[in-house]
Chains A and B, each alone.
Chain A
Amino acid sequence: MRARLLRSGPLQLVLLIAVFLGLYFTIPAVEGNPFWRLPHLIAGWPEKINNAVSYLMFEWLPIDIYDPEIDDYEASPLLKEVTRGLSTGVLFSIDALRELLLGGVKTIAAFVGWDYARAHPDLVWPALPWTIVAAGATLLGYALKGKWLAALAAFATVYIAVFGQWEPAMETLSLVLIAAPICFALGLLLGVAAFRSRRVEAVLTPLLNVAQTMPHFSYLVPVMVMFGVGDHAGAIATIIFATPPMVRLTILGLKKVPLEVIEAAMMSGCTDRQLMRKVMIPAARRDILIGVNQMIMQCLALAVIASFIGAKGLGYNLLLALNQLRIGQALELGVCIVLIAVVLDRLSLAWANKATNYFADQSFVFRHKYSLIFAGIFVGGIALAALGGLIFGDGINYFYMIPHNKGITTENFWQSGVDWMVENWYQGLQGFNRGLITQVLIPMKTAFLGMPVMATFVLTMGIGYIVGGVRSALTVALLLLFIALTDWWDRALITAYMATFAVIVSVIIGFSAGVLSAHSDRASKVVLLLCDTFQTFPSFIYLIPVIMLFGVTDTSVLIAVIIYATIPATRYTVEGLRSVPVALQDLGLMSGANWFQRFSSIELPLALPHIMLGINQTVIFALFMVIIGAMIGTDDLGQYILKALSDKNGIGNGLMLGLCVAFMGLAVDHVIQTWARKQRALLGLV
């Protein structure tokens, strides 16, 4: 009896909290007391990492390279030459695509040399008139899916052109169109490799975990040192950021392929290669396509961050607009980013779902219908551009290319909206702001900072133990130990306090919104669309109005974090509740359960594992955004990550700080995943 009592979760939790509080109030806050704060044993690691990377990049295996520019040999380390070679390749591809869309001379110069290009200033590749790209995208939408996708593509391209954002949008697009296929190929290859070999999976899983939880700011400096500054660096950072979901969902999809399907394929005499290409991947397409969707969203979510290390396009212009506090302009740019994301996502989805008709015997004209129409569009577009040249004369040829920021704009409308908001709301919000800060945030921060390291470990390991036994307790302990041994533990506690507050609020909002909308098809569709939009809509834009209303305070940071972290909480609640089998709901209905009973005893328990995964994502989103909150002004790990951009030990500091944030996320991730897995097993959902 006693033994069973001790094994009951809630009781263990109560005991644990009692022990935690006991330790919290008895351990004295004295520097040097290892129960209060652990010694900073690995505080020297950033410098070591830094020296190691510098050695590899700038000293190791020097080879003599002839530099025609200074007419001399220069010793250059091997690794640097390799990474720079890679950069040149990526940059060339991006530039080639970009100049196809916008015109230019770099691609030509790459073949004939800059001297020749300078001698022949007329040798410039002309830009493709925007009308051709817009009509082409519309046609593609029609060909792949039908009139609705065509309408979406037409709306997006015309919006971008008419609002005068064509050039930056095509710059961003050319980067994404190079980065996304690389992510796709890399993701699929790694996913298949991990599926085939347990060893590869064992190596890949922790790497994926870290890559998905590490804030992007922390690998900007390493990417910049290794690959340089420019669109190629932006593309490489994008690839690091966007590939993990693709890998993960590929593995997931392949694992879900029923054994019967595989056996049937084996019996038909499939080779290994055929099995993968013709059976496994098509059978796993649903999950792989979710991976593609996530990947494309991630690619565009990084558009702004990538401009820190040289990516041209919408993201950079958005930062410029924000620095001038031109929120309206930033908003229009943000909408362009979202539109590109949505159109690319829908187009790739439609392409992947397009059925091939193997039996049709079609005439040449029918088979090449769309190519022929496009040829017509091409000629028509050029004719239109030429006509425009006549109409507009020396002015701007709107039929050829609408220059940056020379289109129509709704900037003034948004700007006056923001002004109105500040003028009318500021005073009223001050009471709320002061109350929140003095009554909630400051006490909460103090409580987190006053937590002895011993108490933290007992609490977190205890939760790990209750959920997943000794294994989980040790995993959590190791992850946190890494942070505790750096000299950033206090900073990490501040990050933890902000993330905790934001997660609590986000989950409450997201869960309520999800529950309210899950019962209606239309409402859930709208909510999921909103989730997609806000996931790619650059969070930098709402930082500014939030600062205007709440000042450079933790309130501002937390509001920005909550806006962003509510997305996964909502999305997973909707998805979880909607995936409850209809048969079970009917069963409840038949047994005469009312709405609330059905919800609380059927739908919620069944959906809870999935909802918990949403909370898991909420934690990770919150951590990401707390770090971006450093742009407003915080004193947590994020402040140091931003600082790493200019540090002497920037690479080491950035990476180590990034790992600290990642490990916090992973500790939570581990506990929640373990819980959800067990819960699913209990419910027979696996």
Chain B
Amino acid sequence: MLKYLNTTLGAAAIALSLGGAAFAQDSAEPIIIPTHNWSSQVVMAYVIGGIFESIGDKVEYVPADSQAVYEAIRNGDITISHEVWQSTFGASFYNAMAKGGIIDVGNHDASTLEELGVPRYVIEQNLCPGLPAWEALKECAAVFATADSEGKGRILEGPQSWHGDLMPDRIKALGLDDKYVVKFAGSADAIWAELASAKKEGRGIITFNWTPNFTDAEGFDFIQFPVYTDGCRIADGGDGSCGSPLGWMKKAANYKFPKTHPAAYTIFSKLSFTTTQIGQMAALVDIDKLSHEDAAKKWLAENEAVWMPWTK
């Protein structure tokens, strides 16, 4: 018994000395961080894990599907999620929240944009004069035609589970539906494969995409649709003829997290990355070809000024 007490005290002492501040009563059970299948998210998982480890907490990483993860957080199988994108995961996140067990831990600095766009060379080579203004699309449907689009231009949208019929509705509301068809891709991978193939051929392609991600580095321009205003979407009572708003990127956690790991939770709620920082994390893997773990180590070492203050 005495021995057990000693070890507990020892643990507390170590945690204190590492944590450096008064909040060091975090549980020794590991904090479970999900990893999905895109670079910035995985690197950020290791970055956040590294920050938690720096105050003496244990961390574990578990691969999980990016849509199904919210149900797992709600049930306590996973502790946090650090990249909740508004338009792709908003629905899953709020569905899980409505069932209880998941809490909103605030937004990142980074604002996201999830919108239709074209690779930069489409504009540089003037494949469709007038882009990125959306009106230009009226004149060059043929540039974006594909084998299955029956002569119309093809707009590649993300999976339907991301935002339902938002894009078909918008195309219709803008009167582009006689010149364009919307095709739902099945996964992000399918979009990347089409983009890569189009780039090699130098052919025109309109696809759903988002920033920040690795395509920023190669150059990708979003089409300027009519400005988003509150209530302009069909779901909100409008006619749907508007572009996407700048979106948020949230952090989420299981409801027990503040109580089991108060120190880590405090850090997690202060923690906030900018678009540039997220881009850096992705680039370390996608451009510099580091492994995800090494990329996280490098980022943490080079950016102590950014994350150290959150632990204080």
Of A277-285, A346-354, A540-548, A677-685, which binds chain B? A540-548
In whole Å, how far is B160's beta carbon from the nearest beta carbon of chain A?
6
Q: How far is the CA of A180 from the CA of B207 in the complex (A)?
A: 43
Cβ of A551 and Cβ of B194 under 8 Å apart?
A: yes
- Partner pick for A115 among B11, B64, B75, B193, CB 8 A cutoff: B11
Q: What residues of chain A have their CB less than 8 Å away from a CB belonging to chain B?
A: 54, 67, 69-70, 113-120, 220-221, 224-225, 228-230, 307-312, 316, 319-320, 322-325, 404-406, 419, 422-423, 426-427, 430, 433-434, 437-438, 441-442, 543-544, 547-555, 629-635, 639, 642-643, 645-648, 650
Cβ of A70 and Cβ of B260 under 8 Å apart?
A: yes
Cβ of B259 and Cβ of A70 under 8 Å apart?
A: yes
Q: How far is the CA of A225 from the CA of B260 in the complex (A)?
A: 22
Cβ of A224 and Cβ of B72 under 8 Å apart?
A: yes
Cβ of A323 and Cβ of B189 under 8 Å apart?
A: yes
Given A228-B75, A646-B67, answer yes or no on A324-B146 (Cβ-Cβ < 8 Å). no
Question: Residue B184 at the A interface, CB < 8 A?
Answer: yes
In whole Å, how far is B195's beta carbon from the nearest beta carbon of chain A?
9
Give the residue name and chain of the B residue nearest to A411 (CB). Answer: B289
> Which of chain A's residues have a CB closer than 8 A to the CB of B196?
325, 422, 548
Given A310-B62, A316-B63, answer yes or no on A115-B28 (Cβ-Cβ < 8 Å). yes
Of B36-44, B229-237, B267-275, which binds chain A? B36-44
Q: How far is the CA of A220 from the CA of B69 in the complex (A)?
A: 12
Question: Residue B10 at the A interface, CB < 8 A?
Answer: yes
Return 15 A-B CB contacts under 8 Å, by A number.
A70-B260, A229-B34, A229-B64, A229-B68, A310-B64, A316-B37, A324-B39, A404-B291, A543-B189, A548-B194, A552-B190, A553-B147, A555-B147, A639-B159, A647-B95
> Which of chain A's residues have a CB closer than 8 A to the CB of B69?
229
Q: How far is the CA of A648 from the CA of B71 in the complex (A)?
A: 10
Q: How far is the CA of A312 from the CA of B32 in the complex (A)?
A: 14
> Which of chain A's residues have a CB closer than 8 A to the CB of B148?
434, 437-438, 441-442, 551, 553-555
In whole Å, how far is A64's beta carbon from the nearest beta carbon of chain B?
16
Give the residue name and chain of the A residue nearest to B187 (CB). Answer: A631
Q: How far is the CA of A404 from the CA of B56 in the complex (A)?
A: 25
Given A70-B256, A423-B200, A544-B189, answer yes or no on A230-B67 (Cβ-Cβ < 8 Å). no
- Partner pick for B27 among A114, A547, A646, CB 8 A cutoff: A114
Cβ of A549 and Cβ of B197 under 8 Å apart?
A: yes
Which of A324, A404, A419, A549 lies at the interface centre, i.e. has the most chain B CB atoms within 10 A of its CB?
A: A324
Cβ of A69 and Cβ of B29 under 8 Å apart?
A: yes
In whole Å, how far is B250's beta carbon from the nearest beta carbon of chain A?
16
Cβ of B72 and Cβ of A229 under 8 Å apart?
A: yes
> Told that A119-B10, A316-B37 touch, could you supply 9 new A-B pairs with CB distance under 8 A?
A117-B28, A426-B201, A438-B148, A442-B148, A547-B190, A631-B190, A632-B187, A643-B160, A646-B161
> Which of chain A's residues have a CB closer than 8 A to the CB of B161?
642-643, 645-647
Interface residues on B, range: 35 or more
- Partner pick for B58 among A67, A118, A220, A426, CB 8 A cutoff: A118
Given A114-B27, A437-B147, A438-B150, answer yes or no on A552-B62 (Cβ-Cβ < 8 Å). no
Give the residue name and chain of the B residue nearest to A430 (CB). Answer: B147
Q: How far is the CA of A220 from the CA of B65 in the complex (A)?
A: 10
Q: What residues of chain B have their CB less than 8 Å away from a CB belonging to chain A?
A: 7-8, 10-11, 14-15, 27-30, 34-35, 37-39, 42, 56, 58, 62-65, 67-72, 75, 77-78, 89, 91-92, 95, 99, 146-148, 150, 156, 159-161, 183-194, 196-197, 200-201, 214, 256, 259-260, 285-286, 291-292
Q: How far is the CA of A228 from the CA of B76 in the complex (A)?
A: 8
> Which of chain A's residues have a CB closer than 8 A to the CB of B39?
323-324
Which of A543, A549, A554, A629 lies at the interface centre, i.e. has the most chain B CB atoms within 10 A of its CB?
A: A543
Cβ of A309 and Cβ of B200 under 8 Å apart?
A: no
Q: How far is the CA of A224 from the CA of B42 in the complex (A)?
A: 21
Cβ of B65 and Cβ of A308 under 8 Å apart?
A: yes
Closest 9 CB pairs of A and B: A646-B67, A114-B28, A228-B77, A119-B11, A547-B193, A548-B197, A229-B72, A633-B186, A643-B161
Given A119-B10, A312-B62, answer yes or no on A325-B28 (Cβ-Cβ < 8 Å). no
Cβ of B201 and Cβ of A422 under 8 Å apart?
A: yes
Give the residue name and chain of the A residue nearest to B199 (CB). Answer: A422
Cβ of A221 and Cβ of B193 under 8 Å apart?
A: no
Give the residue name and chain of the A residue nearest to B101 (CB). Answer: A58
Cβ of A419 and Cβ of B200 under 8 Å apart?
A: yes
In whole Å, how far is B46's beta carbon from the nearest beta carbon of chain A?
13
Cβ of B190 and Cβ of A119 under 8 Å apart?
A: no
> Which of chain B's residues have a CB closer than 8 A to the CB of A643?
159-161
- Partner pick for A550 among B67, B147, B160, CB 8 A cutoff: B147
Cβ of B185 and Cβ of A552 under 8 Å apart?
A: yes
In whole Å, how far is B40's beta carbon from the nearest beta carbon of chain A?
11
Q: How far is the CA of A441 from the CA of B183 in the complex (A)?
A: 16
Cβ of B190 and Cβ of A229 under 8 Å apart?
A: no
Q: How far is the CA of A316 from the CA of B36 in the complex (A)?
A: 9
Cβ of A221 and Cβ of B146 under 8 Å apart?
A: no
In whole Å, how far is A104's beta carbon from the nearest beta carbon of chain B?
10
In whole Å, how far is B80's beta carbon from the nearest beta carbon of chain A?
13
Q: How far is the CA of A643 from the CA of B37 in the complex (A)?
A: 17
Cβ of A633 and Cβ of B184 under 8 Å apart?
A: yes
Cβ of A635 and Cβ of B62 under 8 Å apart?
A: no
Q: How far is the CA of A629 from the CA of B184 in the complex (A)?
A: 12
> Which of chain A's residues have a CB closer than 8 A to the CB of B146?
551, 553
Cβ of A118 and Cβ of B285 under 8 Å apart?
A: no
> Which of chain A's residues have a CB closer than 8 A to the CB of B77?
228-230, 310
- Partner pick for A642 among B10, B15, B186, B191, CB 8 A cutoff: B186
Q: How far is the CA of A312 from the CA of B35 in the complex (A)?
A: 10
Cβ of B28 and Cβ of A324 under 8 Å apart?
A: no
Q: How far is the CA of A229 from the CA of B78 in the complex (A)?
A: 7
In whole Å, how far is B42's beta carbon from the nearest beta carbon of chain A?
7
> Which of chain B's residues have a CB closer than 8 A to the CB of A320?
37, 42, 292
Given A319-B37, A632-B185, answer yes or no on A119-B14 (Cβ-Cβ < 8 Å). yes
